[in-house]
């Protein structure tokens, strides 16, 4: 595939002691979307980014911000995050008894709607929801914690989502979890549109972000 991949820093992994500097450096380097995780300690056994941090990133960033809601009853929080400025909202179908209603509400606010696909969630389980999706975020690790290794059996499912995208309106397929440079190169070739970048490829490397993005763009 020759289209340019979307490279999305996972801000949960950023240096919160210098959040303003992180935003400025990532934008200057040319990354595409700021990715932010919200966890409630219930749907996943962890707590994610604070609302004040999310609001700050949305306010300071000039690039789009997305939000990954790993929470129960996401419908109740759509307005909160779109009002902050989030342009893409991902929900988990297992956390919402009326998924299509929630996806439609996201679109009605003017944001892009997405679903997050857990490792154990099949294509068939979410097939009818895909008509309302602008993005599909495939979890290649179990959600809730950074630094996990990519689960290789996810690749077969990813190919299915990529191959079926046009049938359901042309959603973009994104990968979240264990996105090492090798995996980015491999999955770009099968048509994955974008990657959530954490500690496997971006943060904690001790290198300038502009050097890293140049290498990732070339893969």
pLDDT one-digit tens code per residue, 67-123: 999 999 999 999 999 999 999 999 999 999 999 999 999 999 999 999 999 999 999
Q: Tell me, yes or no, whether 98 lies in a domain.
A: yes
Q: What is the pLDDT of residue 148?
A: 79
Given CA atoms 179, 126, 171, 55 in this order, what sign does their dihedral have?
negative
- Cβ(125)–Cβ(105) below 8 Å: no
Instruction: Assess if residue 191 is contained within a domain.
Output: yes
Is position 1 within any domain? no
The pTM score is: 0.95
- Determine, yes or no, domain membership for 118: yes
| Confidence check: pLDDT of 3 > 90 | no
For residue 103, give its domain range. 6-218
The pair phi, psi for residue 35, each rounded to 5°, is: -105, 130
How many domains does one find in the chain? Answer: 1
- What CATH number is given to the structural domain containing 115? 3.20.20.70
**Which of these is catalytic: 37, 66, 96, 134?**
37
In angstroms, rounded to a whole number, what is the distance separating the alpha carbons of residues 92 and 68? 9
**Average pLDDT over the chain, rounded to an integer:** 95
In this structure, is residue 13 part of a structural domain?
A: yes
Say if residue 122 is exposed, middle or buried (CB neighbours under 10 Å; 0-12, 13-18, 19+).
exposed
Q: Which residues share a beta bridge with 116?
A: 137
141: nearest Cα among 44, 212, 6: 44
User: Is 134 labeled as catalytic in the residue annotation?
Assistant: no
User: Pick the catalytic residue: 32, 66, 96, 176?
Assistant: 176
């Amino acid at each position: 595939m020759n289209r340019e991949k979307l490279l999305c820093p996972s801000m949960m992994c950023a240096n919160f002691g210098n959040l303003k500097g992180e935003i400025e450096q990532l934008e200057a380097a040319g990354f595409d979307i700021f990715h932010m995780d919200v966890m409630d300690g219930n749907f996943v056994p962890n707590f994610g980014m604070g609302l004040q941090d999310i609001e700050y990133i949305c306010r300071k960033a000039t690039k789009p911000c997305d939000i990954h809601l790993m929470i129960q009853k996401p419908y109740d929080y759509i307005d909160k995050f779109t009002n902050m400025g989030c342009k893409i909202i991902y929900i988990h179908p297992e956390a919402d008894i009326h998924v299509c209603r929630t996806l439609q509400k996201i679109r009605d606010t003017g944001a892009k709607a997405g679903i997050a696909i857990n490792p154990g969630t099949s294509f068939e389980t979410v097939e009818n929801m895909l008509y309302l999706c602008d993005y599909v975020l495939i979890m290649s690790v179990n959600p809730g914690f950074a630094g996990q290794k990519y689960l290789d059996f996810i690749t077969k499912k990813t190919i299915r989502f990529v191959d079926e995208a046009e049938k359901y309106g042309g959603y973009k397929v994104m990968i979240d979890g264990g996105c090492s440079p090798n995996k980015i190169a491999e999955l770009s070739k099968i048509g994955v549109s974008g990657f959530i970048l954490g500690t496997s490829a971006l943060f904690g490397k001790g290198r300038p972000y502009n050097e890293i993005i140049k290498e990732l763009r070339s893969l």
